[in-house]
Structure 1
């Protein structure tokens, strides 16, 4: 083969009128290192290489899936955090406005300052001119009712966060992985030492 291939390459190039046919492997050809093996060893090595490449591709797909899950979990956590911060800010603004409710001018000024808060904006509208104590009480009722709604929203957010637990999902993934791998640990009895 070592003598035949160069002769075959030379003859084919001349017959076809081309510079290179490809019978001989170039120095940088990835299969050149395997060409010195006998046929059975070559078959074994290439089969092992193909199997390893398939495992790497499978691991890459699994890694992509896990990365997507991590991205999804991070987005969920970021969403919870943003909602919590918004609720916390809204409640702090309502509390600060209520702290000056006895002083109509200051009360109105605080509500104007926090007008981006929908509850403070509604209280500002309910208080109208803020000329009488009645105007202040109307605005105060809107703020108190709004604060109750925000506290309820905070409770709902807390329930949502309790229902969705990252640790539960990780535990479920580990359990599923053990089952798939067939490496499920035997269950321990309560009296068994850890």
Structure 2
């Protein structure tokens, strides 16, 4: 009799847990759908005027891709929030592509692993100096120029990041032999 009672209680407990778990999943799914719906409705459908960055973008392309080889792409992301700018800011994302990306990745990896040659270290430092100087001409204090390459979908390795007032990634010094 004890075994039957214990078996019945165990079975009821398992059914109750399964029912609660199922109910929790549907509630979670329902709340996720509501969150997705509300977040999509709160996003502004108005077009942002990025024309104030035209001169900066032109200068970036002239300095980093003077022969217009396509080794650099430039895009603007608006109202991005992160730890540096919790109220949101705009990012001018400058990405290396092709062979220039491979060379920069190799140099940056070498710098981070302390195996960089003088040329590799100076290349990274010169990139950072260039971005720092370009950022000083930005129209506001919160916009940043992020310079690097795409590691995978929406994942970037940054070589330089600067705003008008500060270098988020420190520039460093050139090495003279």
What TM-score range do you get, normalising by the shorter chain? under 0.3
Higher helix fraction (1 or 2):
1
Which is higher, the Rg of structure 1 or of structure 2?
Answer: 1
In proportion to residue count, which structure has more strand? 2
TM-score (norm 2): 0.27
Higher RCO (C-alpha 8 Å, min separation 6): 2
